[in-house]
Amino acid sequence: MRRLNILQFITPAGFYGAERWVLALANNIDRSSVTCDLAVTRESKQQDLTVAEVYPQSVGEVHYLDMAGRFDLRAINQLVDVIRSRQIDVIHTHGYKSDILGLLAAKKAGIRCVSTPHGFSGKVGFKLGAFIKLGTFMLRYFDAVVPLSEELMGDMKRFGVPESKTRFIRNGVDLIEIDAATQELGPRDTQLVYKNIGYIGQMIPRKGLADLLTAFDSLYATDQAVRLQMLGDGRQRSELEVQAASLKSAGAIEFLGFRSDRLALLAQFDLFVMTSSLEGIPRCLMEAMAVGVPVVAYDIPGVDQLVKHGETGLLAPLGDVNALVDCCNQALTNPELARHLVANARALIDKRFSAARMAREYEALFAQLVSPDQPESSPKNEAS
């Protein structure tokens, strides 16, 4: 079988789940049979292009597409130039904007196109909502659409994507990166005075971080040894900082912004909390479970694929802050329970959610799209 040339295309919004997913796939792709380039849009001087800066050069080249503003159709021709010069077989897009631009470029260049939906924003403004609606409409014209969760698979039917074009490849976390980072840190300091509760991700409404702050304030009222560290950024950050400043626990809350040492900080958490109302299968939650940090989250589709209550973590009903506080208290005050959750969580990640397994399945999909006569190595829509 000849070498495959793949182009990952993303319009970076920071260095969060989708961007780290692209890196995880690149780190685990079979470099002996696949070249995997990366294309990113360059939309402003303030844009975070970390994903391009740290992309492994041994996997493929990085291409910057200059755009005048947040949406510029001239990027299509730039993509076509990359596709032709690099003899790309498949373009693989991530997000509504890359879906729109990538599909049009693929059709113009005459190559296969694959989209991986990572999740969809909830309440957004009219203009952004219109672009998202256009992006989801265009999914039906891709050669394959590969959502990250069973819940997103269901959304594909609602968006009119033919079932024959959908594939389910379970999300995976980069254990190579995680294990290397945690080994460098050595054993955790068990003599720490404070109990660190943490969050890593975007600060946007669907992450439910106002609930996290409220829950933390309740925890602090009964135990002043707790601390909350929030890593990441987003349009809601200033609003959340105002809320935090109004709480009695204000002095115990840190907004750390984007951090390149997120795994080192994550490894020092005593508890990872996720209060999202909408997710695919969240990468930050998988990373916490792989590192060995107990997790507490709202019980929503996607999260429930990772967290089985009392087995791999603790779940609270969506929006029930009191139940969230109770789950946090259990994980923080019951060491035996915490050890039980951590051991089961890592075992689950090893078995079902590794990026190495994910990469093999994508390689098979890419190969099948380029050579349709080649039989698929795994069943379509596999959800086991």
Tell me the average pLDDT across 312-322. 98
Residues 138 and 201 reside in one and the same domain = no
- Backbone φ/ψ region at 348: left (φ over 0), alpha (ψ -120 to 50), beta: alpha
Using alpha carbons only, what angle is made at residue 75 by residues 73 and 79, rounded to the nearest 5 degrees?
130
Residues 29 and 168 reside in one and the same domain = yes
**Cβ contacts of 67 within 8 Å, gap of 6 or more:** 41, 42, 43, 74, 75
pLDDT at 376: 54
Whether residue 375 lies inside any domain: the answer is no
Whether residue 384 lies inside any domain: the answer is no
Whether residue 381 lies inside any domain: the answer is no
Residues 11 and 134 reside in one and the same domain = yes
Tell me the average pLDDT across 37-41. 97
Whether residue 295 lies inside any domain: the answer is yes
Residues 199 and 304 reside in one and the same domain = yes
pLDDT at 65: 97
- Whose tokens are 């400043």? That residue is 245
Edge-first strand listing for the sheet containing 226-231? 253-257, 226-231, 195-200, 271-274, 295-298, 314-316
Task: State the average pLDDT for the chain.
Answer: 91
What CATH code is carried by the domain that includes residue 92?
A: 3.40.50.2000
119 pLDDT more than 90: no
How far is the CA of 171 from the CAs of 121, 165, 354, in angstroms?
19, 18, 8
Type of residue at 114: V
What pLDDT, in 10s, does the model give residues 48-105? 999 999 999 999 999 999 998 778 889 999 999 999 999 999 999 998 899 999 999 9
Percent of the chain exceeding pLDDT 90 equals: 72
Whether residue 382 lies inside any domain: the answer is no
Residues 48 and 150 reside in one and the same domain = yes
Residues 124 and 92 reside in one and the same domain = yes
CA atoms within 13 A on the CB side of 128: 8
Whether residue 191 lies inside any domain: the answer is yes
Measured between alpha carbons, how far is 340 from 358 in angstroms, rounded to an integer?
26
Whether residue 182 lies inside any domain: the answer is yes
Residues 150 and 204 reside in one and the same domain = no
Total structural domains within the chain: 2
Residues 188 and 166 reside in one and the same domain = no
Against a cut of 0.75, is the pTM above it?
Answer: no
pLDDT at 152: 86
Residues 271 and 348 reside in one and the same domain = yes
Tell me the average pLDDT across 340-367. 95
Residues 244 and 168 reside in one and the same domain = no
User: For the stretch 168-196, what's the b/e string if a residue is b when 16 or more beta carbons lie within 10 angstroms of its beta carbon?
Assistant: bbbbbbbbebbeebbeeeeeeeeeeeebb
Q: Residue 301's domain spans which residues? A: 175-352
Residue 137 has a CB neighbour count (10 Å cut-off) of 15
Residues 344 and 358 reside in one and the same domain = no
Residues 57 and 191 reside in one and the same domain = no
Whether residue 262 lies inside any domain: the answer is yes
